[in-house]
Amino acid sequence: MQKVQETAEKIRTMEIRGAGRIAKAAAEAIRDYATELDAASMEEFSARIKEVSNLLISTRPTAVSLPNAVKLSSKYSSANVEEARQEIIKNSNLFIEIADKALEKIGKIGSRRIRDGDVIMTHCNSHAALSIITTAFEDGKDISVIATESRPRRQGLLTIRHLNNFGIPTTLIVDSAVRYYMKDVDKVVVGADAIAANGALVNKIGTSQLALAAHEARKSFMVAAETFKFSPSTIVGNPIEIEERSVDEVVDPIVLKELSHVQVRNPAFDFTPAEYIDMIVTDIGIIPPEMAYTVIKEHLGWELGDL
Ligand code: RUB
C-alpha cells in the first residue's frame, strides 16, 4: 500500500504528470500492488484492489487516461485469488506495452502530415504531440517549433528542453503571445487529457485559445491522443471535471493575504469544441473529432463508462 500511496502522491503533486505518464504510473502501481497483495479471501482481494484503484483515480480528476488505465489494468474475471492476481498483472503489463507502442504509432502517423519547412506551435508538455514533432524532425524534415510557456506550472520549459535535446530550432513564447505569432505558424499540434464523445478536447488551460487563433488564421489544428484518452463516461452523460489547482501556483499567498477583495482562480484545463479541431492523430489512425464516439464504442467499451 505504501508504494501505491507514493505513486498517488507523485501524481497529485505533479512529480509524475502528463496524461499518458500518469496512466502508465497508475498501471504499474496496480500491478505491483496486486503482485504483493496478501489476501486471505477473494472478498479481501477485491476490496483491496478497489481501494487502491479509487485512491489512484482520485489523485487528478481531469485526465481520463487515469481511470481508463486503472479500470483496464485492474480487470479480472476469476473468483480465485491467484488467478485474479495473474490477470491483473497481465492486464497492467498489456496496458503499459500498448501505451508505449501508441506513442510511437502516433509519432509515425502524425509526422506524415508535417511538411518540410513547417513551423509548429505546441502548448504545455505533451509526449504524444512531441512524438509527432520529433519523428518528423528525425525523418529529415526541416521544421521549427513555437512553444508556449504554459503558466502557471510552466511545462513549456520541459518542452523546450526536450526539443533542444533533439536539436530542433525552438522559440519560447508567453501564453498571451499565441495570437500574435499565429501568422508565422503552419500547424498547431497539442496533446489531450481527455476527448469527449462529441469530439471536444480537454487539454491544458489555454489550448482553446490556440485553437481559436488557429481557426481565425486558417491554420491546421492537430490533436495527438492515444485511444485511452477518450472518455467512455461522457457517453453515459457524465461531464469531464476540470481540475482547479491551488491559487499558490498563481500568486504568492503572502501577497494575496493583503488583497481581501481579490479571489484567484486556477483551472488547469479547458475545453476546445470539435469544430476547431481538424484531426485527431491516434494509435489507430487519424480521425475527425466526430468519430470520437466510435473510438469509445469499439476500442474502450461501454463498461468503462460506469452506467
Ligand atoms: C499536461 C497536458 C498535456 C496532456 C497530454 O497537463 O495538458 O497536454 O496531459 O500529455 P499537466 P501526454 O502538466 O497538468 O499534467 O501527451 O504526455 O499524455
pLDDT tens digits, 1-23? 899 999 999 999 999 999 999 99
Cis peptide leading into residue 273 (ω within 30°): no
Q: What pLDDT does residue 180 have?
A: 98
Q: What pLDDT does residue 305 have?
A: 64
- Homologous superfamily assigned to 2-104: translation initiation factor eif-2b, domain 1 (1.20.120.420)
Give the whole-angstrom CA distance, residue 256 versus residue 233.
38
Is there an atom of ligand 1 within 6 Å of 204 CB?
A: yes
Is there an atom of ligand 1 within 6 Å of 203 CB?
A: yes
The mean pLDDT value for 83-89 works out to 98
Is there an atom of ligand 1 within 6 Å of 130 CB?
A: no
For ligand 1, the distance from its centroid to the CA atom of residue 60, given in whole angstroms, is 12
Which residues define the annotated binding site for substrate?
Answer: 17-20, 60, 203-204, 229
Give the H or E element holding residue 173. Answer: strand 170-173
Q: Is the pLDDT of residue 194 over 60?
A: yes
Ligand 1 atom 1: residue of nearest CA? 18
For ligand 1, the distance from its centroid to the CA atom of residue 108, given in whole angstroms, is 20
Give the whole-angstrom CA distance, residue 122 versus residue 5.
33
Q: What pLDDT does residue 300 have?
A: 84
Q: If we measure between CA atoms, which residue out of 65, 60, 73, 68 comes closest to residue 29?
A: 73
Is there an atom of ligand 1 within 6 Å of 17 CB?
A: yes
| 0.95 surpassed by complex ipTM | yes
pLDDT tens digits, 112-125? 999 999 999 999 99
Give the whole-angstrom CA distance, residue 276 versus residue 212.
7
The ligand 1 atom nearest the CA atom of 131: 16
Is there an atom of ligand 1 within 6 Å of 99 CB?
A: no
Domains 2-104 and 106-305 belong to one CATH topology: no
**What number does CATH give the domain 106-305?**
3.40.50.10470
Domain boundary assignment for the chain: 2-104, 106-305
Strands (E), 177-283: 187-190, 194-195, 201-204, 220-224, 269-272, 279-282
By the 10 Å C-beta count (0-12 exposed, 13-18 middle, 19+ buried), 164 is classed as exposed
3-state class of 281 per DSSP? strand
The amino acid at 116: D
pLDDT tens digits, 255-292? 999 999 999 999 999 999 999 999 999 999 999 999 99
Q: What pLDDT does residue 204 have?
A: 98
Q: Catalytic amino acids?
A: 124, 193
Q: What pLDDT does residue 251 have?
A: 97
pLDDT tens digits, 135-183? 999 999 999 999 999 999 999 999 999 999 999 999 999 999 999 999 9
Is there an atom of ligand 1 within 6 Å of 206 CB?
A: no
The ligand 1 atom nearest the CA atom of 190: 8
pLDDT above 90: percentage of residues in the chain: 96
Task: Give the residue, out of 60, 193, 202, with the most ligand 1 atoms within 8 A of its beta carbon, to mutate for a pocket test.
Answer: 193
Is there an atom of ligand 1 within 6 Å of 124 CB?
A: yes
Give the whole-angstrom CA distance, residue 16 versus residue 9.
9
For ligand 1, the distance from its centroid to the CA atom of residue 70, given in whole angstroms, is 18
For ligand 1, the distance from its centroid to the CA atom of residue 37, given in whole angstroms, is 31
Q: Is the pLDDT of residue 307 over 60?
A: no
Q: What pLDDT does residue 166 have?
A: 98
* Residue 307 or 189, more confident: 189
